[in-house]
Amino acid sequence: MAAKRACFFAIFWAVFAALPLAAQAVIKLYLKDGSYQLVKEYKVEGDRVSYYSVERSRWEDVPLALVDFDKTRQTESQEKAQQQKEVQEAKKVEKERFDDVVTTGWEVAPGIHLPGDEGAFAFDGVRVVRLVDSPAEVVRDKKRMALLIALPGPLVKARSLVVLPGPRALIRVNSLQPTFYVQSADNAGARVALVSLKQGKNSRVVEKVQGGIGIGQSGELREAIPLERKQVAAGIYQLKPTAPLPVGEYALGQMEGDKLNLDVWDFGVDGAPPKSPGGETPPIIRKLPAPSPH
């Protein structure tokens, strides 16, 4: 996992660093009961603490005596230090990525190879991009909970949402119909599904989980994308959407029966690759050098 995350930051550290400051400056304002609010800023006003809630996009306040300032400042300092460490690691691995040509993995196109280790990769015709595990989390659908409380009887089912943080994945793919490769010793590619994600203001919904008494379908509800699937080598599966993908957010995830594993590979599709002035797509990664004549 550490290696995968290092490659993730290696490819996209520049994108992360270029994000608007306001998008990165999310603070965990801790309360003394151990819970916290995600806030953009906070200030002490007499015996109250006012904060701008990221979740509800409005100013709120709590009694001063309930706020754990020590834990809030400690956590903020630790997260800033971790971000700096990840950026430095990303710069180092980014340099290595362009200095070293992968020559040992399975060849997806002339001179372009998969890395030799396990993982999921996207190929857009000119480059191989490593996808990175992103753990999704289950949260309650607060609107549905409010509706359940307001209605006199069990007219609707209870619902939870499986979400990823942030409205966009940092990994971007410049192809409307990329080819994916899943490489693993246990043939995980045979069980992988492609899911379209619904973008929210601060998160992306992977699926809805409904249950209980009421109107509507029960179980895990997700928008799966049809795939052409074939095994191209031992432990390597090639997956390709049967039709071009709309621009948007997506994830590959392993199915366990009819259940989706919450550790997914998320990415965004930005459209066709940009064209150079000469009309050709500029290469993103280096191909193997031509063999020298003997």
Residue 74 in any domain: the answer is yes
130 and 264, same structural domain? Answer: yes
The sign of the CA dihedral 85, 31, 199, 154 is positive
User: The whole model's pTM is what?
Assistant: 0.56
Q: Decide if pLDDT at 93 tops 50.
A: yes
Task: Find the domain containing 156 and state its range.
Answer: 101-269
What is the structure's pLDDT at 54?
85
The owner of tokens 């607060």 is 142
Instruction: Tell me: do 63 and 108 sit in the same domain.
Output: no
Structural domains counted in the chain: 2
Task: Say how many residues make up the chain.
Answer: 294
Average pLDDT of the chain, as a whole number: 76
Query: Do residue 162 and residue 217 come from a single domain?
Result: yes
Residues 113, 243 within the same domain: yes
57: left (phi over 0), alpha (psi -120 to 50) or beta: left
- Alpha-carbon radius of gyration of the chain: 23
Residue with the larger pLDDT of the pair 15 and 72: 72
The pairing of beta strand 27-30 with beta strand 112-113: unpaired
pLDDT of residue 159: 63
Q: Which residues pair with 43 in a beta bridge?
A: 50
**In terms of domains, do 218 and 247 share one?**
yes
| Token pair listed for 255 | 């199915």
User: Is residue 105 located within the same domain as residue 74?
Assistant: no
**Residue 59 in contact with residue 52, Cβ under 8 Å?**
yes
Mark residue 91 as left, alpha or beta (left: phi above 0; alpha: psi -120 to 50; beta: remaining): alpha
Tens-digit pLDDT profile for residues 184-221: 999 999 999 999 999 988 888 898 776 544 455 555 67
